[in-house]
Structure 1
Amino acid sequence: MTKTQRDIAFLVCLVTIVLALLDLQIVSAATVPIVRDLDPGHGIDKIPWLVSAYALASAAMLPLYGKLCDVLGPKRVFTGALTTFLLGSALCGAARSMGELIAARALQGLGGGGLMSVTMVVIAHLQGPGEKKGSDRGGNVGGLVAGGAMAVGPWIGGLLADHANWRWIFYVNLPVGLVVLTAAALVLKLPGHPVRRPIDYAGAGLAAAFSSALLLVTDWGGKRYAWSSPVVLGLVVAAAVALALFLWRQLRAPEPVLPLSLFRVRELRLGFAVQAITGSAMMCAIYYVLIYLQVARHVASSSAGLYLVPMAVGLTAAGLLTGPLTARGWTARTFTVCGAATGALAFALLATTTGPHTSLWLVRGELLLAGAGFGQLIGQLILLVQNTAPRHQLGVATTGIRFFQTLGNALGTAVFGTVLARLYAAHGPGGDVSTLARLTGTAHMDGVRAFVDATQVVFWGGAALMTVAALLALRLPRTRRLPMPTTPRRDSIPA
């Protein structure tokens, strides 16, 4: 590929990442007009599935997408995932009932799972002669675009829902996606794989079963069903069994979808762990700051999303500084340690200063600091994995780190939500956060105080997670090791 073709392809990849993450976040701001239009009587009960159907399908496909990239080549998988996503978007826009919309969201998620992860594989293949896999530009700018899209997604969804029909949330993907698809077909010239290797569909199915059961546990536990209910306990057992069978399958499959030998490599093992922790902490910062603003500070839900803009600015600032700092000798280890420490500091400040009357500008500043920390982690962890993994396992390594981030997101949201609910139930009036809005007078002030105290504990939990991430990052090698030999054996990675 010429330099111009690579630049166009790189832009195509960035737009694709935006499409994937916007559709994960954008629907949350348009649920009211969707329910009002499709099912005003009972649609409110089906709202959680609008997000869950997409997230479940997206996470379930991640391990398979990585293997398909390594076997079929990333261009085929990229165009296939994008086509599936656009078909799902068209069906979402044309849905006539909540059931149809949820089914179309699941189809859209099947494609969306590949847009983010496979796109990062494509970026790794777009480097010019002499560049490393997953160059600094690719990993960091991709990570910044991802963080920015995550932060402004709810705001864009609210704008479209308020000033246009909600169906345009999905229809807007079509012209943009078709341009991306056409450009990809014309300019992407990536190496193929003439020797066809088997694909472990059984392992991919077990991975999908495990991730789906685990995500349902985190989504339903303590909210729709009690943690001790037969439904939640059954899902926990199903997740454990699926995980055990998946690990057994990966040890015996000729071409495993997530080779366990990857975990023998220190950079990959630590990179996966830090990414999972980062995913948990990032959801803590986004989700529970928004809840604090709406419950304790009475910020409208349509305006609360704007408070995430400083986090997006922090992500961008961290990315802009990556190049100059790399030129001064900063390595992936330096960025990861510094990013985790910065995130821990931001959470500690949130925990110590958040109160019923805290300046909202102070909250914005703390989110800016958190974004600066996450901005150093997101791109550098992808670079670390891509520069360490063997070339013939670049796909499974890249989608693997995305898979662990997804699981971390779900587990972090569930664990912190349980902590918040239990603490409020123990010390607040009414026993349930949902009753706080109905309290008045002294009872309401006591409830807000109990909620703020519980939120502070959650933020201390985020600080502890980021401290663990910093300690793990200190175990990374001081100098990045050279990529290992790319002998096309199925599982032959030296310790």
Structure 2
Amino acid sequence: MTETQRKIGFVVCLVTIVLALLDLQIVSAATVPIVRDLDPAHGIDKIPWLVSAYALASAAMLPLYGKLCDVHGPKRVFTAAIATFLLGSALCGAARSMDQLIAARALQGLGGGGLMSITMVVIAHLKGPGEKDSGRGTNTGGLIAGGAMAIGPWIGGLLADHANWRWIFYVNLPVGVAVLASAAFALKLPEHQVRRPLDYLGAGFAAAFSSALLLMTDWGGKKYGWTSPEIMGLALATAVTLALFLWRQLRAPDPVLPLSLFRVRELRLGFAVQAILGGAMMCAIYYVLIYLQVARGIASSSAGLFLVPLAVGLGAAGLLTGPLGARGWSARTFTLSGTATTALAFALLATTTGPDTSLWLIRAELLLAGLGFGQLVGQLILLVQDSAPRHQLGVATTSIRFFQTLGNALGTAVFGTVLARFYAGHGPGGDITALAHLRGAAHAAGVQAFVEATRVVFWGGAGLMAVAAVLAWRLPQPPELPREPSRRSSVGAVGTA
């Protein structure tokens, strides 16, 4: 590729990831208008599937996407994923019932699973032989990640209130078509002439495992009790499909997720840290928002604005990683610093959170957490891409996103169970849902018990990040020569945000 084509390709990748990030964020702000328009009587019960359909389809495709990149080349898979996402977006906008919208969201998720994961593979191929990067791409990637996280819900609410919720999906179409046209011109990526059989059976087992796990963690303790037949059945399905997936990977001639990757020290440690990071990010975002709404009485729309400091921290980390990388900071150094910073932020949240804590202090602690997360997400991807065999670059890159998805699901479930059980053992009313109906001294006692339960959750997040710091310490020391940041790291902060 020429230098101009590489620059256009890089912009294409940034825009693609912005599409993915915004689509994850803006739909949540329009659920009420969607239900009011499509099914005011019963649509509220189907809202969880509106989110779950996209997440399940996206997670199920991740292992296969990586293998498709390694077998067919990243450009074909990249354009196919975008085309699928755009088709799903068009069908979402044209839906006339909640069932049609949920089915279209699942199709959109099949393509959405590749918008961030395959894009990172494409970026890995954009760096020319011997090319140096000044860190400009890293700065841009971090700022875009933070900006998309901050403005996503706001854009969704704006479109839903002043236009029509269907434009949340239609707005993807002109941008996506421009991305496809630009990709066709600019991306000159290697294509593999020797075709290898794909492990579709292994991909099916991986999809079944991830779907069962996500449903179990999403429904457990909410829609069904943890000991209910439905959740126990999903737990059994998760265990069985995981065993079948591992068995298939050991026997398949060309497995969809080669277990040989785990023999590389950097890869297995990077995957582990990424999974922990996924759980910790859910802890920081989800349970801070719950604390603000339950303990402080802040409306959900206003509580969402507390994510702005977190987003600013991510953007600031993007600005810093480029210059620091140019001065010799390695992926190991950033991973150590990021895990330690995030652990400190959680410890501060656990120590200071109370019924009357200054909201500015909460914002400052979220800013610190964003600085920690921003150091981790891009550098972990860079670490994996630098350590993976070149012919397995696709599957290694998409695997890190896959492990983050599993970490998100497990973190949400574990922390939610800890919160609910601690409150049930120490608070009035039996469970957290009863807190809204308590009055006077009983309500004050309930808020205090909820705050204490939230502190336990934050201490759990600090403990997780401490484990991640230990894993980061075990990463091998980098070579003596200082490394220049590559374009691959430039969208790392975006790809896993």
206 and 146 in structure 1: CA distance in 2 versus 1, 3 angstrom threshold: farther
- The CA deviation at 1:47 is 0.6
338 and 97 in structure 1: CA distance in 2 versus 1, 3 angstrom threshold: same
Contact 2:138 2:319 in 1 (8 A): no
User: Which residue in 1 is equivalent to 2:39?
Assistant: 39
Q: Report the 3-state secondary structure (helix = DSSP H, G, I; strand = E; otherwise coil) of the residue aligned with 1:165.
A: coil
**Percent identical residues:** 83
User: Which residue in 2 is equivalent to 1:81?
Assistant: 81
Contact 1:93 1:168 in 2 (8 A): yes
CA distance in 2, matches of 1:269, 1:147: 28
Equivalent residue runs for 1:251-330 within 5 Å: 251-330=250-329
- After alignment, is 123-132 or 354-363 more displaced? 123-132
Equivalent residue runs for 1:163-174 within 5 Å: 163-174=162-173
User: Which residue in 2 is equivalent to 1:62?
Assistant: 62
90 and 27 in structure 1: CA distance in 2 versus 1, 3 angstrom threshold: same
Q: Report the 3-state secondary structure (helix = DSSP H, G, I; strand = E; otherwise coil) of the residue aligned with 1:479.
A: coil
User: Which residue in 2 is equivalent to 1:111?
Assistant: 111
- Provide, for residues 321-378 of structure 1, a one-character-per-residue CA deviation record: whole Å limited to 9, x for no partner: 1122112221111000000000000000111111111111111110000000000000
CA distance in 2, matches of 1:65, 1:139: 25
User: Which residue in 1 is equivalent to 2:29?
Assistant: 29
Contact 2:135 2:323 in 1 (8 A): no
324 and 47 in structure 1: CA distance in 2 versus 1, 3 angstrom threshold: same
130 and 372 in structure 1: CA distance in 2 versus 1, 3 angstrom threshold: same
Q: Report the 3-state secondary structure (helix = DSSP H, G, I; strand = E; otherwise coil) of the residue aligned with 1:13.
A: helix
Q: Partner amino acid for 1:236?
A: A
CA distance in 2, matches of 1:220, 1:282: 20
Q: Does 1:477 align with 2:476?
A: yes
Contact 1:221 1:227 in 2 (8 A): yes
CA distance in 2, matches of 1:481, 1:173: 46
Q: Does 1:52 align with 2:52?
A: yes
- Provide, for residues 428-470 of structure 1, a one-character-per-residue CA deviation record: whole Å limited to 9, x for no partner: 1212212222222112111111111111110000000000000
Q: Partner amino acid for 2:399?
A: G
Contact 1:124 1:135 in 2 (8 A): no
CA distance in 1, matches of 2:149, 2:230: 31
Q: Report the 3-state secondary structure (helix = DSSP H, G, I; strand = E; otherwise coil) of the residue aligned with 2:22.
A: helix
CA distance in 1, matches of 2:131, 2:144: 22
The answer for unaligned runs of 5 or more in structure 2 is 482-497
Q: Report the 3-state secondary structure (helix = DSSP H, G, I; strand = E; otherwise coil) of the residue aligned with 1:199.
A: coil
CA distance in 2, matches of 1:136, 1:252: 43
Q: Partner amino acid for 1:261?
A: S
User: Which residue in 2 is equivalent to 1:343?
Assistant: 342
User: Which residue in 1 is equivalent to 2:488?
Assistant: none
Q: Report the 3-state secondary structure (helix = DSSP H, G, I; strand = E; otherwise coil) of the residue aligned with 2:328.
A: coil
User: Which residue in 1 is equivalent to 2:356?
Assistant: 357
CA distance in 2, matches of 1:204, 1:138: 33
CA distance in 2, matches of 1:150, 1:302: 14
- Provide, for residues 174-198 of structure 1, a one-character-per-residue CA deviation record: whole Å limited to 9, x for no partner: 1111111111111111011011111
Equivalent residue runs for 1:44-443 within 5 Å: 44-131=44-131, 142=141, 145-146=144-145, 148-443=147-442
221 and 459 in structure 1: CA distance in 2 versus 1, 3 angstrom threshold: same
TM-score by length of 1: 0.94
Q: Partner amino acid for 1:442?
A: A
- After alignment, is 348-357 or 160-169 more displaced? 160-169
User: Which residue in 2 is equivalent to 1:465?
Assistant: 464
TM-score by length of 2: 0.94
Considering Cα pairs closer than 8 Å and 6+ residues apart, tell me whether 1 or 2 has the greater RCO: 2
CA distance in 1, matches of 2:340, 2:42: 46
CA distance in 2, matches of 1:219, 1:131: 44
CA distance in 1, matches of 2:47, 2:242: 29
54 and 137 in structure 1: CA distance in 2 versus 1, 3 angstrom threshold: farther
- The CA deviation at 1:166 is 1.0
Q: Report the 3-state secondary structure (helix = DSSP H, G, I; strand = E; otherwise coil) of the residue aligned with 1:256.
A: coil
Q: Report the 3-state secondary structure (helix = DSSP H, G, I; strand = E; otherwise coil) of the residue aligned with 2:128.
A: coil
150 and 160 in structure 1: CA distance in 2 versus 1, 3 angstrom threshold: same
Equivalent residue runs for 1:436-451 within 5 Å: 436-451=435-450
User: Which residue in 1 is equivalent to 2:495?
Assistant: none
Contact 2:278 2:405 in 1 (8 A): yes
CA distance in 2, matches of 1:299, 1:351: 20
23 and 256 in structure 1: CA distance in 2 versus 1, 3 angstrom threshold: same
Structure 1: 4+ residue segments shifted above 2 A:
134-156
Q: Partner amino acid for 2:476?
A: P
- Provide, for residues 104-130 of structure 1, a one-character-per-residue CA deviation record: whole Å limited to 9, x for no partner: 000000000011100000000000221
Contact 1:17 1:145 in 2 (8 A): no
- Provide, for residues 136-166 of structure 1, a one-character-per-residue CA deviation record: whole Å limited to 9, x for no partner: 6667754664454344322322222222211
The answer for unaligned runs of 5 or more in structure 1 is 483-495
